[in-house]
Amino acid sequence: MFDIFLTVKKGEAKKRIEELKELIRTHNHNYYVLNAPTISDFEYDILMNELIQLEKLFPQYITKDSPTQNVGSDLAVTGAGQGGFRQYRHEYPMLSLSNTYDLEELYAFDQRVKKVADSPFSYNCELKFDGTAICLTYKDGILFRALTRGDGTVGDDVTSNVMEIGSIPQKLKSGTSYPREFEIRGEIYMPYEAFDRLNRQRELDEDPPFANPRNAAAGSLKLLDSAAVKERGLESTLYHLIAPDLGVTTHSDALKAAAEWGLPVSEYAKECKGIEEVVEYITLWDEKRRSLPFATDGIVVKVNQLDLQKKLGFTAKSPRWATAYKFKPEEALTKLLSIDYQVGRTGAITPVANLEPVLLSGTMVKRASLHNSEQMELLDIHIGDYVYVEKGGEIIPKITRVEISKRSASAEKARFPACCPDCGTPLVKDPEEAKSFCPNSDGCPMQQKGKFLHFIGRKAMNINAGEATIEQLYTKGYIKRLSDIYSLTSNELSQLDKWKEKSVANFLNSVKQSKERPFSKVLFALGIKYIGETTANSLAYTFKSIENLMHASREELTETEDVGEKLADSIISYFSNPDNIKLIEELKAAGLKFSIDENSAMKLSDALDGRTFMITGIYTIPREEMKAYIEAHGGKVASSVSSKTDFLVAGEKSGEAKIKKAEKLGVEIISEEELYKMTSK
């Protein structure tokens, strides 16, 4: 389907080849490094195929740096060792797969294999999980190292993060026979359920949602805080075993052996006797994939016999014994009726398209995201346009393109508002972000209601109410400031629609219970821009009280774990507003906790006085409690390992990089049990 009939001149070909190379490099960077692709896989493959065809016709213009000769890289552009990850060379290059959307090309692949084969062979077919590639090395049955694909030659060391993924064993099953050292490669992916949960939280925090599960998985694997990786719900499937002597003759048997050792291999793989069985498998899963709990974008077809794989060999970029048949993206064409402009709690304006209902991925779609004004401009969107909508696990589908041929001559171009659609205040645009904002944070009703919804949320004050309740309370004038929640009366609550005595009692009881929420939850509930749940924990346990945080310098803030310059500026800006200080005083008077509880901050002994600790891994108690425990015995907890660190407390799944750095600096490494012995008499 990608055949290109070219009657192009040499000079034009050279110019187009250079354009395509630059364009594809940009898209590779967006996809692999930023985890924020701006085009679909299908559109990318069209560009790549055009470049391949042109280079075939004009081989004199093929260069070593061409995307056709190299694997896309997920390494940080700043160079080896930057971005918080050490980099190591792959013992065996991690290549990419050739792919096609055309069954005829799959039959051609089969013919190429048959020309080399001198005996009967079979294929192994597997679902192509839409995630991010990983390479695991095991030594003596213990997980030794985990590397990303990187540029195919060098990868980022993400071992400490991979250790937070429950499906990947750190130790193989005892009693099984495995090579002393081997590599196994596969995919880290994020199931739809975890993806939806993550994006719901990001939307509440007004962080940009991930476009799809693949981007979310890749971004999660590169988090600098290993503990945060565990919360992301990542899974893994492994599909390629490499060792000098595997003791098996087929790829299928290699996967069976890996499963016996306790490694996660796909339950959907199937051995196919010939190309017709392969096509049947593809046809089956093109339909069944819609019911899977994770994203899959195709089928990987591999020659099953290992000796034939070796005989077929590799190109500079991919193995000749494997290919991927990719499913066409699911999309639907429907009419755009209107656009709503939603105002979030921080004032961010998000355009959402209202559509004629259309069935997509098993659900009826009525709304789709347009993201921001720049995306609307890029699409050249008009009211009444027929638009293509895609949904690949996203909470809200997205518009990918406009069918210009169906545009009415009278269609009016959609104009992003210059003023807030709720309060009429002129919008401002953050020069560092694509979003526009309403600056009227104190007077904009939608922002105010958004702040209340964030405040009462389960991860904040956990008050038993929802959007409809906040809407009624705000409309009736019962709440204008967050502190008003704590002065609501039974009489006022009984005025709400369908609220009876039991509803009132449940609400008031949850308000009372919210006063027991710890300082970290209260800090998160305030809704300070860029402070997420994890950051609120770090700030609470570092500064101990709102007063200390309020008077912290920019330098002190940026030295805190998870706090960058942008967040530091946001915190300083928040506390420079007198009305915010007044709100905190009102919430204090209502009984909320704005400091670490005495029980967790009390001095238990001087056993660790003058000693600095760094903690890594998982303990029998939460990390925040471990920090509090060390401080309660007089110790200090650092945010990184340095020459000033006295002890590294290594729990389960400890970060390898921290361990190595401690060893290099001569920092003593102790266990959780050894720490407890130091504090007991």
Burial bucket for residue 7 (CB in 10 Å: 0-12, 13-18, 19+)? exposed
Reply yes or no on whether the pLDDT at 566 is more than 70: yes
**Spatial distance between the Cα atoms of 470 and 530, rounded to a whole number of angstroms:** 23
Tell me if 610 is assigned to some domain: yes
Q: Is the domain of 162 the same as that of 207?
A: yes
pLDDT attached to residue 81: 35
Reply yes or no on whether the pLDDT at 605 is more than 80: no
Amino acid making up residue 41: D
- Note whether 88 and 69 are within 8 A (CB): no
Helix (H, G, I), strand (E, B) or coil at 437: strand
Q: Which residue has the tokens 């967040």?
A: 567
Q: Is the domain of 99 the same as that of 233?
A: yes
Tell me if 470 is assigned to some domain: yes
Q: End of a domain among 326, 359, 394?
A: 326
DSSP secondary structure letter of residue 618:
B
Q: Is the domain of 630 the same as that of 487?
A: no
Tell me if 74 is assigned to some domain: no
Residue 78: pLDDT band with limits 50, 70, 90: very low
What are the pLDDT digits (tens) for 452-498?
999 999 889 999 898 899 999 999 999 999 999 999 999 999 999 98
Split into its structural domains, the chain has a count of 6
Q: Is the domain of 537 the same as that of 607?
A: no
535-555: average pLDDT: 88
Amino acid making up residue 630: I
Reply yes or no on whether the pLDDT at 297 is more than 70: yes
Q: Which residue has the tokens 């589908």?
A: 397
CA 216 vs. chain centroid, Å, equals 2
Residue-number span of the structural domain to which 58 is assigned: 10-69
Of 418 and 42, more confident? 418
**Spatial distance between the Cα atoms of 519 and 460, rounded to a whole number of angstroms:** 10
Alpha carbons within 13 angstroms on the beta-carbon side of residue 418 total 0
Tell me if 391 is assigned to some domain: yes
**Spatial distance between the Cα atoms of 68 and 568, rounded to a whole number of angstroms:** 43
CA angle 309, 315, 320 (to 5 degrees): 35
Residue 562: pLDDT band with limits 50, 70, 90: low
33-39: average pLDDT: 61
- Note whether 216 and 392 are within 8 A (CB): no
- Note whether 651 and 616 are within 8 A (CB): yes
- The question of whether 677 is a catalytic residue gets the answer no
Active-site residue, selected from the candidate residues 21, 128, 391, 398 = 128
pLDDT attached to residue 84: 55
Helix or strand holding residue 55 (H, E):
helix 41-57
Q: Is the domain of 166 the same as that of 302?
A: yes
**Spatial distance between the Cα atoms of 554 and 569, rounded to a whole number of angstroms:** 7
CATH assignment of the domain containing 665: 3.40.50.10190
What are the pLDDT digits (tens) for 629-653?
888 788 888 877 888 889 999 887 7
Return the number of other C-beta atoms located less than 10 Å from residue 461's C-beta.
Answer: 24
pLDDT attached to residue 361: 60
Rounded to 10°, the helix 672-679/623-632 angle is 30
260-271: average pLDDT: 94
CATH assignment of the domain containing 31: 1.10.287.610
Tell me if 1 is assigned to some domain: no
Helix or strand holding residue 24 (H, E):
helix 10-28
What is the overall mean pLDDT for the chain? 85
**Spatial distance between the Cα atoms of 438 and 460, rounded to a whole number of angstroms:** 24
pLDDT attached to residue 397: 82
Q: Is the domain of 109 the same as that of 138?
A: yes
Helices (H) and strands (E) in the chain, counts: 25, 24
Q: Is the domain of 362 the same as that of 284?
A: no
pLDDT attached to residue 394: 46
Q: Which residue has the tokens 């940026």?
A: 558
CA angle 99, 102, 105 (to 5 degrees): 70
Residue ranges of E strands in 380-522: 382-383, 386-390, 398-402, 412-413, 428-429, 436-437
Burial bucket for residue 204 (CB in 10 Å: 0-12, 13-18, 19+)? buried
Reply yes or no on whether the pLDDT at 305 is more than 80: yes
117-127: average pLDDT: 95
Reply yes or no on whether the pLDDT at 302 is more than 80: yes
The CA distances from residue 334 to 80, 366, 368, 388, 409, in Å, are: 47, 10, 11, 7, 18
pLDDT attached to residue 393: 43
Q: β-strand 382-383 against 412-413: which pairing, if any? A: antiparallel
Rounded to 5 degrees, what are φ and ψ at 346? -95, 5
Tell me if 542 is assigned to some domain: yes
Q: Is the domain of 209 the same as that of 306?
A: yes
Helix or strand holding residue 239 (H, E):
strand 235-242
- Note whether 339 and 351 are within 8 A (CB): yes
* Radius of gyration (C-alpha) of the chain in whole angstroms: 28
DSSP secondary structure letter of residue 209:
P
CATH assignment of the domain containing 451: 1.10.150.20
pLDDT attached to residue 255: 95
Q: Is the domain of 297 the same as that of 164?
A: yes
pLDDT attached to residue 309: 94
pLDDT attached to residue 6: 44
Reply yes or no on whether the pLDDT at 216 is more than 70: yes
Burial bucket for residue 636 (CB in 10 Å: 0-12, 13-18, 19+)? middle
Q: End of a domain among 18, 40, 69?
A: 69
Q: Provide the greatest CA pair distance for the chain.
A: 87
**Spatial distance between the Cα atoms of 281 and 299, rounded to a whole number of angstroms:** 9
Expressed in angstroms, the distance from the first to the final Cα of the chain is 76
Query: Which of 37-46, 377-386, 563-572 has the lowest average pLDDT?
Result: 37-46
Q: Is the domain of 506 the same as that of 524?
A: no
Alpha helices (H) along 182-332: 192-204, 213-221, 226-230, 251-260, 275-288, 306-312
pLDDT attached to residue 1: 40
Query: Which of 79-93, 176-190, 256-270, 364-378 has the lowest average pLDDT?
Result: 79-93
Closest CA to 97 of 145, 20, 37, 152: 152
Tell me if 5 is assigned to some domain: no
Amino acid making up residue 67: P
Tell me if 54 is assigned to some domain: yes
Q: Is the domain of 612 the same as that of 580?
A: no
Alpha carbons within 13 angstroms on the beta-carbon side of residue 201 total 17
Of all residues in the chain, the percent with pLDDT exceeding 90 is: 46
pLDDT attached to residue 207: 66
Q: What is the reported pTM? A: 0.50
**Spatial distance between the Cα atoms of 302 and 496, rounded to a whole number of angstroms:** 63
> 112: which 2 tokens?
């190429």
Strand partners, 126: 300
Burial bucket for residue 322 (CB in 10 Å: 0-12, 13-18, 19+)? buried
Q: Is the domain of 141 the same as that of 240?
A: yes
What are the pLDDT digits (tens) for 572-601?
999 999 999 999 999 999 999 999 865 544
pLDDT attached to residue 237: 95
- Note whether 89 and 153 are within 8 A (CB): yes
Q: End of a domain among 276, 307, 326?
A: 326
**Spatial distance between the Cα atoms of 635 and 324, rounded to a whole number of angstroms:** 55
47-63: average pLDDT: 81
What are the pLDDT digits (tens) for 307-319?
999 999 988 778 9
